[in-house]
Amino acid sequence: MSDARRTFTIEEANALVPQVRAVLLQLAVEQRRLDTAHAEMHRQIESNGNPTAAAEGSRRETEVGQIREGMRTLLVHLSGLGVELRDVEMGLIDFPAERDGAQIWLCWRLSDPQVAFWHGTDEGYTSRKPW
């Protein structure tokens, strides 16, 4: 973690949770859309020369690219907020912070009502402790 990086108080992190939650939920929706479009694209492409299926496969390929680009935009937005996405499926986010003069991560996941845990920068989710 760089010294120049913004650090959050637990209050600041909790104030940002609704926005982070909204982005994570949109990422989950987009992931489902991507999975569906990707599977359909492959089904159409593998249809052995059917011109209609080939055109549909090409359309789905474009759709997959657009969904991926939208997801990249959401990820850049999270990064711009100053948080670290650790696990998209779990909705695991770390907020850079300080505790007793040491750099730490405030740890939050989508199923948590608020930020209430932390861990050292050399530790992970399984080492999180109550604030």
Task: Kindly report, residue by residue over 74-114, the tens digit of the pLDDT.
Answer: 999 999 999 999 999 899 999 999 999 999 999 999 999 99
Q: Is residue 4 part of a domain?
A: no
CA angle 104, 100, 97 (to 5 degrees): 30
Q: Is residue 3 part of a domain?
A: no
Which residues fall within 8 angstroms of residue 117, CB to CB, at 6 or more apart? 106, 107, 108, 128, 129, 130, 131
- The answer as to whether 102 is a domain residue is yes
User: How many C-beta neighbours within 10 Å does residue 104 have?
Assistant: 21
Tokens in use for 94? 């770390």
Is 71 contained in some domain? yes
Q: Using an 8 Å Cβ cutoff, are 15 and 106 in contact?
A: no
Residue 5: inside a domain = no
Residue 1 lies in a domain: no
Read off φ and ψ for residue 100, nearest 5 degrees: 50, 40
Q: How many domains does the chain have?
A: 1
| Strand residue runs (E) in the chain | 84-87, 92-99, 102-109, 117-120, 129-130
The verdict on residue 96 lying in a domain is yes
Q: What is the pTM of this model?
A: 0.83
**pLDDT tens profile 13-38:** 999 999 999 999 999 999 999 999 88
Structural domain range at position 64: 10-130
